[in-house]
Structure 1
Amino acid sequence: MKLGKFYPRARQQRPSIHDPAVRPRRLALLKAATSNLLLLQFLFLRTLLLSLRQTGHIHNINVLFVDYDGGAIGNAVRSAYTQMASTGFPTLVERPALLYPDPTSIRGAVCDIDYWAALYVTSNASNLLSAAVAGGSAAASYNKSGVMTMVWNEARYPTVVDSAVSDNLKALSEAARVAYTQADGKQIIPTLNTSDSAALAAFSNPWVLSSVNLQATTQGSRLIYNTLTIILILIQEFFFLGYVNGLYQQFQLYTSLHPHRIAIVRQMISGTYTFIGSLCTTGAIWAFRHGWNVGGSQFVITWMALWLFAHLNFLVLDVFTIWLSPPYVPMALIFWIVSNVTSILLPFELSPAFYRVGYALPAHSIFNVLVDIWSRGCNPQLYYALPVLFVYEVVGLILSTVGVYRRSHYAMIKQDVDEKAMQARIEALVLEQQPQFHTDEPGQGEELETSESDQEAGGAPRQRRGTTATQPDEELMEIIRREMSRSKAEGVPTSRDSTGPCFNLPFKEKE
């Protein structure tokens, strides 16, 4: 089917692609498309490259190891780690028991994020296992779960620690069990009580790795805490900014109100919107927590933290639209979203070193604040996270307020230019239409009026000029009104006085 049949004007007056006049435009188009292609690929491929480098950096995950036993089981753990150590396995950092005199101090080290996790062997575990293999009451009371324990915090990058920490430590425990059997099996077999089922069970499966999870985070919605939640907040603020700009442009507030009042009301509107939006986001997280051990106080603090994050992002995007030329605003938005998300997609231990620039981004700070809230203080990074967030908030407030004065300044300049241009067009239109509507012929544009005294005197009626509006005058006023409406509709902001992203509102200003 030929589309030209339905759209005949689409192919009219189109030069050939080989036309000399078209060649410069064609080359310019290719150069611009290539430049934007490379920039977009750089922005989006950062996330892919980050995920591809994850496995090779797992050795940067440090795990504390404390051997309270000092016997065969601890030796088995060391032997197993020697075989499993690689760039794709966490680094086991052994420390003497004197530095961590009890398991509570180990939990404190993990809570204070000195280590991603900890593994310890219980005191006297090897002797208890040897006694259990011999049978009797020792075998009956033997506790497999009390031999070896790992301590970790699943709320801290839950999907990462599940695979990089929890699964690897479980594999290390199994490898240590095999190493223990191979190294001490010949010594144990002579003492094995084959008639005691409890002794046989202790020999075949000497221990089961126990887990102390500081904040269990197993709900399905945990996958979006450091990805979709942050992205939705960023996009939400961008579209809200577009509607706020549309509101101010539709009602021409920059040319009718004082800038300081505009700034105050604008911040009140943005604060209210982000207040409600962060409440909805927090409510969605809580609605799908599925038994997650978080309470009402954590709900409120999470809400306040997300409110701060949402509002500072509104201010940052507003600053982009104020101080950047409109063609660069979409690129700035993409860069802002991708940079923030990649700063929290994986922990910095699993990322190349240059990704540590993410310490200066608000998304990395807010995620650490949220982890600290959810795990009840077991992520003490507020000393830098909160200052980063407040710096963005304060600087954003200042630059956004200055931007209101900037927009008002250029809006007034543009209004003066538009008014002068419209006045010139109307004057030209009046001069063009005047010969049509006003002539010197008698009787046109005039009304005959006969007074009572003239009638009594038998005189002729007298002419009265210009006492009522004629039909041509009404048509001229309609043309002028139409011209003013068209001038208002064509008032597109220039690059210097642009209000940024601007979306039409579903309601219109009433005339």
Structure 2
Amino acid sequence: MAPGKFYPKARRQRPSIHDPAVRPRRLALLKAATINLLVLQFLFLGLFCYIFGSLFQQGEHTHNINILFVDYDGGAIGNAVRTAYEQLESTSFPALMERPATSYPSTNTIDEAVCNIKYWGALYIAPNASDHLTAALGGGSAAADYDKSNVMTMVWNEARYPTTVDSAISVTLKSLTEAARVALAKADGQKMLQALNTSDSAAVAAFSDPWVLSSVNLQETSQGSRLIYNTLVIILILIQEFFYLGYVNGLYQQFQLYVSIHPHRIAIVRQVISGVYTFIGSLCTTGAIWAFRHGWHVNGYQFVITWMSLWLFAHLNFLVLDVFTIWLPPPIVPMALISWIVTNVTSILLPFELSPAFYRVGFALPAHSIFNILIDIWSGGCNPQLYYALPVLFVYEIVGLTLSTIGVYRRSHYAVLKHEADEKAIQDRIEPAVSERQDQLPTEITADGPRESETSETDPEAGGAMQRRTTVATQADQEEIMEIIRREMSRPRVEKATTSRENNGPCFDLPFSD
């Protein structure tokens, strides 16, 4: 069935594409389409290169991940770890930073060093671990009491970029301890065999499997939703603010508030509306994170602080996007939006240690600040970067509030100018039509006037009838003039709505309204 049957006007005869009148428009269309095609292609090519560049040769930057190593034992096991690290050391392996035991007199100080992000993780060997292993090889009570899990321990914080530290710290340290086991067997295997009591099963077990790497995870973060905390969660918050901004602009456009209400009242109400919306939106986001936190040990206090942090982040992004729509040309706004999203998400995809140094410009972006604040909240203060993260967010908030408020006055100014221009355009349309019609009325009355006067003197009844006909004609003319006014006013209103919408940034029709 032909679509033209349902849309008959679409089949109306139109000029040929080769018509001389169409040719200039055709060339202009091709030129505009080509320019915009190139601009968008270069924009997205640049964004792809930017985000891929942050991930480029990620493994080759793993050596920037520093791991603290403390040997409280000072024996053969520590030597085996050093030998194993010499074999594994490369750009794709974390840097093992050995420090003397005197610098960290207890294991609690190691936990604090990792918690305070002086190191990404730590590995330490328990005191007298080598002596305990040697004694266990001889069998007896020493072998029975030997605790293989109290030999090597790693300390890390899984809440700090969980998908990254799983592979960069947990996996690599396990491979290091396995390599150390082989190195110990090569270096002291003969001596250990001589001391081994083969008749004691516990001694044989200690020889074949001398240690199991223990783990002190400051904040276990193994739930599946952790994969999108630094990607889709941030993206959806940004997109959520963009869409609501469009609805707010649509609200102001629909009710023509910029030409009917004082700007300072508009600014106050606009900020209140955005604050309430982001307040509720951040609550929903935090609630969704908590609803799918299975196995994640966080409490109600952390819930509230997360909510407040996301509220600040959401509101400042609403303001930033509003500033885009106020001060940037309308065609640039979509490109600015997608660039803002990509650069912010890129700043938190990976730790800066695993990206080229150029990407440290992400320190100035709010997404990087909010993610570090969230890590600090979720891990109980084990990511102390609030000293820079909070100021960055508040700078965006204050600057955004200032520029957004000034923007209300700007929009009101241009809205009034546009309203006056539209009224003048309407007047220019109506006056010629009305004047033309009014010019015709005196001629008709003058032509009948003498006849009406003469008739009224000789025949009063005929004069009265003529007066009634003149009155009827005048009413008909008035109705015709009103129809002209209605017809002429209908066109500028459509043009005004379209032009005003283009000047107000993203503007969506309200899905539900009275």
TM-score for both structures, normalised by structure 1? 0.91
| Contact 2:259 2:412 (8 Å CA) reproduced | yes
Is the CA contact (8 Å cut-off) linking 2:151 and 2:212 kept in structure 1? yes
Aligned match for 1:298, one of 298, 302, 318: 302
User: Does the aligned pair in 2 maintain the 1:118–1:151 contact within 8 Å?
Assistant: yes
Residues 344, 146 of structure 1: CA spacing in aligned structure 2 closer, same or farther, 3 A cutoff?
same
* Aligned with residue 252 of structure 2, among 238, 248, 251: 248
Letter in 1 for 2:430: I
Match of residue 485 from structure 1: 490
CA distance in 2 between counterparts of 1:398 and 1:98 reads 53
Q: Work out which of the residue numbers 208, 229, 233 in structure 1 matches 2:233.
A: 229
8 Å Cα contact 1:4/1:11 also seen in 2: no
Q: Deviations over 1:291-336 (max 9, x none)?
A: 2100000000000000000000000000001110011111110110
Report the 3-state secondary structure (helix = DSSP H, G, I; strand = E; otherwise coil) of the residue aligned with 1:470: helix
**Paired letter, 2:114:** V
> Would you say 1:333 and 2:337 are equivalent positions?
yes
1:212 match: 216
* Structure-2 change in CA distance of 1:469 and 1:181 (3 Å): farther
Q: Which residue of 2 aligns with 1:367?
A: 371
Where has structure 1 moved over 3 Å in runs of 4 or more?
A: 1-12, 16-29, 431-439, 441-445, 457-461, 464-469, 492-497
Deviation for aligned residue 1:507: 4.6
Paired position in structure 2 for 1:14: 17
Equivalent position of 2:47 in the other structure: 43
CA displacement 1:350-395 (0-9 Å, x = unmatched): 0000100000000000000000000000000000000000000000
Equivalent residue letter for 1:207: W
- Aligned AA for 2:482? M
Counterpart of 1:14, as a letter, is: I
2:253–2:500 CA contact under 8 A, matched in 1: no
The residue identity in structure 2 corresponding to 1:351 is S
| Cα distance in 2 for residues equivalent to 1:360 and 1:52 | 21
What's 1:84 paired with?
A: 88
1:98-109 matched pairs, under 5 angstroms: 98-109=102-113
Change (3 A) 1:82 1:11: farther
- Residue 205 of structure 2 is aligned to residue 201 of structure 1: yes
The 8 Å contact of residues 150 and 209 in structure 1, kept in 2 or not, is answered as yes
**Aligned: 1:149 with 2:153:** yes
Paired with 1:478 and 1:235, the residues of 2 have a C-alpha distance of 46
Structure 1 position 458, deviation (Å) = 8.5
**Bigger mean CA deviation after superposition, 463-472 or 249-258:** 463-472
Among 465, 482, 507, the alignment partner of 1:502 is 507
Q: For residue 265 of structure 1, give the secondary structure of its aligned residue in structure 2.
A: helix
Provide closer, same or farther for how the CA distance between residues 144 and 437 of structure 1 changes in structure 2, counting only shifts above 3 A: farther
> C-alpha distance in 2, partners of 1:272/1:21?
48
Quote how far apart the aligned CAs of 1:40 are.
1.4
Q: Which moved more, 1:398-407 or 1:10-19?
A: 10-19
Distance in 1 separating the partners of 2:111 and 2:448: 102
1:353–1:438: structure 2 CA closer, same or farther, 3 Å change rule?
Answer: farther
- The answer to which of 477-486 and 204-213 deviates more is 477-486
* Structure 1 vs Structure 2 CA RMSD: 2.8
Task: Provide the rounded CA distance (Å) in 2 between the counterparts of 1:113 and 1:199.
Answer: 40
Question: Bigger shift: 400-409 or 21-30?
Answer: 21-30
Q: Structure 2 vs 1, CA of residues 477 and 148 (structure 1 numbering), >3 Å: closer, same or farther?
A: same
* Partner of residue 387, structure 2: 383
The aligned residue for residue 451 of structure 1 is: none
Instruction: Indicate the larger mover: 13-22 or 234-243.
Output: 13-22
Change (3 A) 1:361 1:179: same
Q: How far, CA to CA, are the matches of 2:416 and 2:192 in structure 1? A: 92
Task: Go from structure 1 to structure 2 and tell me whether the alpha carbon gap of 1:309 and 1:438 turns closer, same or farther (over 3 Å shift).
Answer: farther
Find out whether 1:182 has 2:186 as its counterpart.
yes
Contact 2:59–2:91 at 8 Å: present in 1 too?
yes
Q: Which amino acid aligns with 2:120?
A: W
Residue type of the alignment partner of 2:18: P
Unpaired stretches in structure 2, ≥5 consecutive residues: none
**In structure 2, what residue type is equivalent to 1:212?**
V
**Mapping of 1:420-439 within 5 angstroms?**
420-434=424-438
Instruction: Tell me which residue corresponds to 1:474.
Output: 479
> Structure 1 residues 506 and 25, CA, compared in 2 at 3 Å: closer, same or farther?
closer
More moved, 381-390 vs 421-430: 421-430
State the aligned residue count. 500
Cα contact 1:156–1:371 (8 A) shared by 2: yes
Per the alignment, do residues 407 and 47 of structure 1 end up closer, same or farther by CA in structure 2, a change over 3 Å counting? Answer: same
1:400 aligns with 2:411: no
Q: 1:240 to 1:24 in 2, by over 3 A?
A: closer
CA distance in 2, matches of 1:30, 1:88: 45
Q: Select between 476-485 and 266-275 the one with higher mean Cα deviation.
A: 476-485
1:219-271 C-alpha deviation (Å, 9 max, x unpaired):
00000100000000000000100000010011010000000000000000000
In the other structure, the counterpart of 2:242 is: 238
Q: Residues 24 and 184 of structure 1: is their aligned pair in 2 closer, same or farther, counting only changes over 3 Å?
A: same
1:411-422 alignment to 2 at 5 Å? 411-422=415-426
How many angstroms does 1:278 deviate by? 0.3
Give the deviation of 1:56 after TM superposition: 1.0
Counterpart CA distance in 2 for 1:11 and 1:194 is: 100
- Residue 117 of structure 2 corresponds to residue 113 of structure 1: yes
Contact 1:274 1:310 in 2 (8 A): yes
Task: Compute the displacement of 1:61 (Å).
Answer: 0.3
CA contact (8 A) 2:253 2:501 kept: no
Partner of 1:279: 283
In structure 2, what is the Cα distance between the partners aligned to 1:125 and 1:398? Answer: 62
Q: 2:139 aligns with which of 130, 135, 138?
A: 135
Structure 1 pair 494/459, CA: closer, same or farther in 2 (3 Å)? closer
8 A Cα contact 1:140 1:198, kept in partner: yes
Q: Which runs of 5+ in 1 are unaligned?
A: 449-453
Q: Secondary structure at the match of 1:14?
A: coil
How many angstroms apart in 2 are the aligned matches of 1:127 and 1:338? 55
Structure 1 contact 411–497 (Cα < 8 Å) conserved: no
The answer on whether the counterparts of 2:316 and 2:393 sit within 8 Å (CA) in structure 1 is: yes
Superposition TM-score, scaled by structure 2 size: 0.91
- Counterpart in 2 of 1:318? 322
Say which structure is richer in helix: 2
Cα distance, 1:91–1:219 mapped onto 2, change above 3 Å: same
